[in-house]
Structure 1
Amino acid sequence: MADGFIVPSTARPETDTQHRLRGPIHAQRHVRVVCIGAGASGLLMAYKLQKHFSNYSLQVYEKNSEVSGTWFENRYPGCACDVPSHNYTWSFEPKLDWSAVYASSKEIFTYFNDFARKYSLHKYIKTQHQVIGATWNKEKGGYDVQVKDLESNVIVDDHCDILINASGILNNWQWPAIPGMEKYKGTLLHTANWDDNIDLTGRNVGLIGNGSSGIQVLPTIQPYVKKVTTFIREPTWVSPVQGLEQHVFSAEEKLEFATKPGALVEYRKGIERGLNGQFGIFLKDTNVNSETEAYFRQQMSDKLKNEYLEERLIPNWHVGCRRLTPGVGYLEALGKPNVETVYGEINSITEKGCLCDDGKEYPVDVLICATGFNTSFKPRFPVINPQGQNLQDAWAKEPRSYLGVAAADFPNYLIFLGPNCPIGNGPVLSAIECQADYMCKLIDRFQTHNISTFSPKAEAVDDFLAFKDAFMQRTVWHDPCRSWYKSLGPDGPVTALWPGSTLHYIEALIELRLDDWDVRYTGNRFSWLGNGYSQTEVDPTADWAFYVRDNDDDEPLSRLRKLRILNKSGTVAPNAGVSFTGLVTEGGWKEVEERL
């Protein structure tokens, strides 16, 4: 016997069904997984498969020369995460020595790179290999994957049973759609494709955009450039959440995190509870939203100290319609003598700089485009299903996913951070962990049953999106602001976010809803029952009477009882709707419930 299978005596290849009938119940057949991307999501998937599975093979393809995805690519001045650093980690893998509340991209890259090294994940990864296509193989099932070796420029082929797209949403950077970009004679930079060799000292710099990247760049370069002309076409809310202002950790604080039992985990839990307590901010006409907006408005006014900028930069739409950013030092930088703010549209790029809708040309030596990414959710390469349909075409108008992890009619294809997952609803890495666990449950089901294909039913996707669209009417995300949350434009549907909180998402994905999935089998669907033997009987070290005991210590059978064990219900003081922000008052949750 080998790994629970009775080894066949014949050399003739067996079908999967024949192989299963010769082994015990739930025999683990070999499963081949290809994962696209070695950013945070891809690294976590590799870790989970390594920790929880056997009889599998994994290949991760990464287009960059290093792992860590966006945190390897983004290294513009001031690049940082807008989530507190101690909580921008995996739940099980803390980092003791973050330098500050909002850590730099270099520190975050180091965290994920060290994670890959610690768990020996590089052995699964081929860097400088870019997936350029995936086509369903009708003869043997699974995907034929075409991969370009970026060093040799040679196309190599692979095949997998299950294809996982972990290429992310904020990594396909793009130039702004402004006429004349090719005419510009100065130095042209994009924040997501930064050239470290460019020295901005003493230069006249133009900065297009006031999203997260632009907000981080401005205060970083302002002290050492000759002048910054920042081009802004619309307002945005900028303010750290109360209680989460930037703070540099002292040596004593780091030592306490490293040596005092429970200090770091309690600090992380406090922040996480606070982040999870903010969902009410995103619901229209609640006290928490109104109070947060009043706080942000006052903060922006106090820091801008300029009536002209206040009128143009403080939004008239609700807080949260666009992604909130702490904006450390940004508003103050706008008032510096060497910063000029040009509000309005750029009509065209000229040889010298930007020609704006005020009729003026603004010459600059260096033009920085902090203009973000293609957030259409379409895959960056063709994904062809058994019917010959390309997912790029299917999602050309509107990306339509099942719970942010899969697409109807595309079997054995899973997605990290797909459409309508909680990428802006709360702690994002918690949501990624939840998605990885869900995928592992699907892979386990595929491996231990004689499943040939699984994909969400079209009607399940339709129902999910109908529910999502109705829910979004009650949220600030539905406001007519221009946001990457709405890939079809300011008045289009919310395509990026989950209809609920991050905790809501975690609970929604705890268990598989196989009634939402179209599951097909190879041969008789009960072939997984095998040769009549249990997994316990083929393990000589197992207790063959494990169910005989002194008392009933079974795990709970109901969903609610299971959840109360997971969330440690009864072990903490009542939250009562109070978060560290101080903005959710006593009875805050009651108000939210009434609104819903």
Structure 2
Amino acid sequence: MHTSVKSHEPRAIVIGSGVAGIALAARLRSTLGFKNFIIYEREAELGGTWFLNTYPGVGCDVDSHLYSFSFNLNPNWSQRFANQPEILEYLQSTATKFGIRPHIRFGIEVIEASWNESRQLWQVQLRNVSSGHIFSREAEILVSCVGSISIPKDCSIPNYEQYTGKIWHSARWDHTESIAGKSVAVIGNGCSAAQLVPHVVRDAAKVVQFQRSPQWINARPNSQFSKLQKFLFRHLPFVMRLYRFTLWKRTDSLHQLYTSTSPSAVQARVEATREAVSYMEETAPKKYHDILIPKFPLGCKRRIFDPGYLEALHSPKIELTSEPIVAFTEKGLKTSKRDLNFDVVVLSTGFKIQEFLSPIKLTGKSNITLNEHWASTSGAQAYKATFVTGFPNFGIIFGPNAFPAHNSVIYTNEVQVEYVIKSLFRPIIKGSFSVLEVKEAAEHRDATDIQNQLQKMVWSSGCSNWNLDASGRNTTNYHDETWKFWYRLWWPAWEDFDLSGGKGASLPWRPEWKIAGTAIALAASIISAFHSF
């Protein structure tokens, strides 16, 4: 009697259903036909930052056709730089198109995950957000798609709890409260503040914006796509592909603004700085020029592409001040010079960028947590922005040093997704091995090279920015053009990993080796056939 042997298909848990989670899920299904994964999402809907950020004016400062998935281009973008509702709709339609929704469990947050060395799998503890019920699941593969722009910074201003007015973070906008006719304080002047201030000024009776440090601001011409353009994009896909490629190539050339390694790069930044100064002086009220225009190099902080912010500063209803805030009072804010009363305080103070995977506790081999590992290496790091030594079968999409300051993060997310599939999912499913762990020396070598390169770039020129952690290490940015990011992650360097288990299947060949092998085999067959005559 014949007895069939059923092989065990690996299970995977994915944390988060934002851009990275959608990209991974879509490629797992379409590229591998792999469906044995669950996505745990703590929010009520997918979309990540584009679901959570709903403040007035929220939008993207990357071209819409570039800020989209290569496997699901959208011919129907309404304008060059899309706003939040349109981006969220695109992400939702992508999830529906690729059958991702059935894989997602909404309202479930990952509390902690631990690697079980004896059983060679991840044990994950989860909590139902609404009921508080705690339960656990297991999986051979764990991937974080949490992202870094997800958790708002806590308010650090003294006496925060004494304030009796309304207060919220821009990333958690309170739509139940109207600001019409009220006095509003906006704390912060980064990208989010620049987007929301024009709308707040329009509706509020009085606005005071507190600037902690100046920002470089550039023009943001946001043209609408015509019916003809949409028609061509829809019916001639190669036109849309060519347009997207042109955007990517042109945007990638902006990398030179962030380095000073050549005379052309220095000159490019000089010209870009002159252009920004000219725009700011022409557009903003003259009374604010001294506090608006930075003294630090362009690019040291994330550049702002103006959504109408500088024009809004002309309104008699707004005051921009650089007075330091000393503390909250019962009715408002106390600065170094005066007390001000406000009905509403909006905190546009950024996110916990440096706290990757926060607040999840991740424990790897030898009972070492991810934070302890990173503390021992003087800062967050990951091999090729994706794998961490001591944490087998675990990958991070949008991990340390994966942020391209000058290009689309969706591009680098997709590059990492393909790398995780090539190096982790496909070989484990095939049976080449069952456990993959990056070697410590490989992680250290990779991280050291990146940090050495980043020291030469504009983020280390002395300004305060969210790219640097408390010790001054740049844990967010990638240091080169994005095509080089793709090249670094094009194919796994198997010698950089410890591999174990599996059914002994050979490791996947590089595509060019497959072509060469096929050509050699074909040539050998022809020669053999010739000799047989």
Counterpart in the other structure of 1:478: 460
1:44 aligns with 2:26: no
Identity of aligned residues (%): 27
Asked if structure 1 preserves the Cα contact closer than 8 Å seen for 2:12 and 2:139, the reply is yes
SS at match of 2:181: coil
Q: How does 1:33-112 map to 2 (within 5 A)?
A: 33-54=12-33, 57-112=36-91
Instruction: Give the counterpart of 1:445 among 422, 427, 435.
Output: 427
How much is the aligned-residue C-alpha RMSD, in angstroms?
2.5
1:464 aligns with 2:443: no
Q: How does 1:179-258 map to 2 (within 5 A)?
A: 179-240=158-219, 245-258=221-234
SS at match of 2:356: coil
Give the paired residue count.
508
Q: Please report how far the alpha carbon of residue 267 of structure 1 lies from its aligned counterpart in structure 2 after TM superposition.
A: 2.7
Counterpart in the other structure of 1:361: 339
SS at match of 2:305: coil
Counterpart in the other structure of 1:564: none
Instruction: Give the counterpart of 1:267 among 237, 243, 247.
Output: 243
SS at match of 1:395: helix
2:76 alignment partner AA: D
- Separation in structure 2 between the aligned mates of residue 54 and residue 250 of structure 1, nearest angstrom: 37
Asked if structure 2 preserves the Cα contact closer than 8 Å seen for 1:147 and 1:156, the reply is yes
SS at match of 2:414: helix
Counterpart in the other structure of 2:350: 372
Counterpart in the other structure of 1:146: 125
Asked if structure 2 preserves the Cα contact closer than 8 Å seen for 1:33 and 1:56, the reply is no
SS at match of 2:209: strand
SS at match of 1:67: coil
1:503 aligns with 2:480: no
Asked if structure 1 preserves the Cα contact closer than 8 Å seen for 2:356 and 2:399, the reply is no
5+ long unaligned stretches in structure 1:
1-5, 20-28, 531-543, 553-596
1:392 aligns with 2:374: no
- Separation in structure 2 between the aligned mates of residue 450 and residue 427 of structure 1, nearest angstrom: 33
Describe the shift of the 1:55–1:276 C-alpha distance in structure 2 as closer, same or farther (beyond 3 A). Answer: closer
Asked if structure 1 preserves the Cα contact closer than 8 Å seen for 2:14 and 2:21, the reply is yes
- Separation in structure 1 between the aligned mates of residue 304 and residue 405 of structure 2, nearest angstrom: 11
SS at match of 1:278: helix
Q: How does 1:506-517 map to 2 (within 5 A)?
A: 506-517=486-497
Counterpart in the other structure of 2:514: none
1:502 alignment partner AA: T
Asked if structure 1 preserves the Cα contact closer than 8 Å seen for 2:182 and 2:206, the reply is yes
Describe the shift of the 1:50–1:549 C-alpha distance in structure 2 as closer, same or farther (beyond 3 A). Answer: farther
2:131 alignment partner AA: S
1:402 alignment partner AA: Y
| Cα distance per residue 1:433-467 (max 9 Å; x no partner) | 10000000122122323523222222222222221
Q: Please report how far the alpha carbon of residue 203 of structure 1 lies from its aligned counterpart in structure 2 after TM superposition.
A: 1.3
1:166 alignment partner AA: C
Whose helix proportion is higher, 1 or 2? 2
SS at match of 2:138: strand
Q: How does 1:419-568 map to 2 (within 5 A)?
A: 419-442=400-423, 443-488=425-470, 492-521=472-501, 527-528=504-505, 548=522
SS at match of 1:286: helix
Asked if structure 1 preserves the Cα contact closer than 8 Å seen for 2:468 and 2:476, the reply is yes
Describe the shift of the 1:317–1:529 C-alpha distance in structure 2 as closer, same or farther (beyond 3 A). Answer: closer
Describe the shift of the 1:261–1:167 C-alpha distance in structure 2 as closer, same or farther (beyond 3 A). Answer: closer
Q: Please report how far the alpha carbon of residue 107 of structure 1 lies from its aligned counterpart in structure 2 after TM superposition.
A: 0.8
- Separation in structure 2 between the aligned mates of residue 231 and residue 283 of structure 1, nearest angstrom: 30
Describe the shift of the 1:385–1:260 C-alpha distance in structure 2 as closer, same or farther (beyond 3 A). Answer: closer
- Separation in structure 2 between the aligned mates of residue 373 and residue 146 of structure 1, nearest angstrom: 25
Q: Please report how far the alpha carbon of residue 184 of structure 1 lies from its aligned counterpart in structure 2 after TM superposition.
A: 1.0
1:373 alignment partner AA: F
- Separation in structure 2 between the aligned mates of residue 434 and residue 470 of structure 1, nearest angstrom: 23
Counterpart in the other structure of 1:278: 254
Counterpart in the other structure of 1:534: none
340-349 vs 160-169, which moves further = 340-349
| Cα distance per residue 1:418-439 (max 9 Å; x no partner) | 1111342422111111000000
Q: Please report how far the alpha carbon of residue 252 of structure 1 lies from its aligned counterpart in structure 2 after TM superposition.
A: 4.5
Q: Give the TM-score, by structure 1 length.
A: 0.81
- Separation in structure 2 between the aligned mates of residue 362 and residue 393 of structure 1, nearest angstrom: 43
Describe the shift of the 1:156–1:478 C-alpha distance in structure 2 as closer, same or farther (beyond 3 A). Answer: same
Q: Please report how far the alpha carbon of residue 548 of structure 1 lies from its aligned counterpart in structure 2 after TM superposition.
A: 4.3
1:409 aligns with 2:361: no
Describe the shift of the 1:139–1:469 C-alpha distance in structure 2 as closer, same or farther (beyond 3 A). Answer: closer
- Separation in structure 1 between the aligned mates of residue 231 and residue 2 of structure 2, nearest angstrom: 55
- Separation in structure 1 between the aligned mates of residue 364 and residue 524 of structure 2, nearest angstrom: 53
- Separation in structure 1 between the aligned mates of residue 26 and residue 18 of structure 2, nearest angstrom: 12
5+ long unaligned stretches in structure 2:
508-517, 527-533
- Separation in structure 2 between the aligned mates of residue 191 and residue 117 of structure 1, nearest angstrom: 29
Instruction: Give the counterpart of 2:327 among 328, 344, 348.
Output: 348
- Separation in structure 2 between the aligned mates of residue 92 and residue 430 of structure 1, nearest angstrom: 11
- Separation in structure 1 between the aligned mates of residue 506 and residue 49 of structure 2, nearest angstrom: 44
Asked if structure 2 preserves the Cα contact closer than 8 Å seen for 1:30 and 1:56, the reply is no
Asked if structure 2 preserves the Cα contact closer than 8 Å seen for 1:419 and 1:496, the reply is yes
Describe the shift of the 1:416–1:261 C-alpha distance in structure 2 as closer, same or farther (beyond 3 A). Answer: closer
Asked if structure 2 preserves the Cα contact closer than 8 Å seen for 1:425 and 1:497, the reply is no
| Cα distance per residue 1:90-142 (max 9 Å; x no partner) | 11312222222221111111000010011111111101111111011133111
| Cα distance per residue 1:345-390 (max 9 Å; x no partner) | 2111111111112x21121111000111111233221111121011
- Separation in structure 2 between the aligned mates of residue 300 and residue 119 of structure 1, nearest angstrom: 44
Asked if structure 1 preserves the Cα contact closer than 8 Å seen for 2:30 and 2:98, the reply is no
Q: Please report how far the alpha carbon of residue 265 of structure 1 lies from its aligned counterpart in structure 2 after TM superposition.
A: 2.9
2:361 alignment partner AA: P
Asked if structure 2 preserves the Cα contact closer than 8 Å seen for 1:425 and 1:500, the reply is no
- Separation in structure 1 between the aligned mates of residue 128 and residue 232 of structure 2, nearest angstrom: 46
Describe the shift of the 1:495–1:520 C-alpha distance in structure 2 as closer, same or farther (beyond 3 A). Answer: same
- Separation in structure 1 between the aligned mates of residue 506 and residue 266 of structure 2, nearest angstrom: 54
Q: Please report how far the alpha carbon of residue 199 of structure 1 lies from its aligned counterpart in structure 2 after TM superposition.
A: 1.2
- Separation in structure 2 between the aligned mates of residue 9 and residue 234 of structure 1, nearest angstrom: 68
